[in-house]
């Protein structure tokens, strides 16, 4: 297993324990965020996943950064914690000005990536990002330019690894081929919306706004062939599996879901767990 030479933590665990920090500093107040981070660390969690744009849609000024600032304050208040956790953050989806998303966002040009990373490092009070995600594809920028910018950061040790979130498989392959040909760090992780239920073809679950945001058979096949880490976002559908007050997205309303949920209920009852626990397992 590959090790992080600084912390001696596994840099690519086969089943990473990830804490999503999207709502920290907005819907989740700082005291609660600190308590969740403390508990996560105590229980052996490693990856904290955030983004420079989190959560602009909840922020009074229409910009992201609140989540990273909370993480930075938590790290500052917990000496030694930085060497026990791995930080992943994302670049590319921050609005250029309040209310401009999605038409006008930072994108993935060389300048945008360098500016995003500099901002993330400052807000989190760290000297490195363990995994930088290209948050959503940017058709206005050649993927080669984005990967060359990442190469500058990985060569400097500022970024350890690079991943792609909400990208079609063909652009991931193009980015990987370019990086490998140059001898620089290729994309070795994919992050997409994935859960036990499957959406109807041609639909996207509520909250998935990217056309390539839901894990597809093609993306899954690509992951099997090339072995990048595969991260799922929204695996619990914001609690809809177990919370009676949260509706399952209409995209999952079809006979296949009815049968899947029946089996899920049977397994949960047999194991004495909740639906959500079984889904995560």
Which residues are designated catalytic? 54
End-to-end CA separation in angstroms for the chain: 22
Cross-strand partners of 193: 214, 233
- Burial status of residue 110 (CB atoms within 10 A of its CB: 0-12, 13-18, 19 or more): middle
CA-to-CA distance for 63 and 95, rounded, in angstroms?
A: 7
Neighbours of 59 (CB within 10 A): 18
CA-to-CA distance for 113 and 129, rounded, in angstroms?
A: 13
């Amino acid at each position: 297993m590959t090790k992080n030479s600084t912390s001696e933590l596994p840099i690519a665990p086969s089943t990473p324990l990830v804490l999503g920090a999207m709502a920290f500093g907005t819907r989740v107040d700082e005291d609660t965020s600190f308590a969740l981070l403390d508990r996560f660390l105590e229980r052996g969690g490693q990856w904290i996943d955030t983004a420079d744009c989190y959560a602009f849609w909840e922020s009074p000024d229409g910009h992201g950064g609140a989540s990273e600032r909370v993480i930075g304050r938590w790290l500052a208040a917990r000496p030694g914690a930085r060497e026990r956790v791995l930080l992943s953050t994302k670049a590319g989806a921050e609005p250029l000005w309040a209310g401009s998303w999605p038409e006008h966002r930072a994108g993935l040009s060389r300048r945008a990536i360098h500016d995003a990373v500099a901002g993330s490092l400052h807000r989190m009070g760290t000297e490195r990002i363990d995994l930088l995600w290209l948050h959503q594809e940017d058709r206005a920028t050649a993927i080669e330019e984005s990967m060359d910018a990442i190469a500058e950061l990985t060569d400097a040790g500022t970024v350890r690894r690079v991943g792609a979130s909400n990208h079609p498989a063909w652009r991931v392959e193009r980015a990987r081929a370019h990086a490998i040909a140059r001898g620089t760090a290729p994309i070795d992780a994919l992050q997409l919306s994935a859960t036990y239920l499957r959406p109807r073809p041609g639909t996207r679950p509520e909250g998935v706004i990217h056309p390539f945001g839901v894990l597809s058979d093609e993306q899954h096949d690509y992951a099997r062939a090339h072995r990048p880490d595969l991260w799922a976002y929204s695996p619990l559908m914001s609690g809809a599996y177990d919370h009676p007050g949260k509706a399952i997205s209409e995209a999952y309303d079809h006979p296949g879901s009815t049968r899947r949920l029946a089996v899920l209920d049977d397994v949960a009852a047999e194991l004495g767990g909740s639906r959500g626990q079984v889904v995560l397992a």
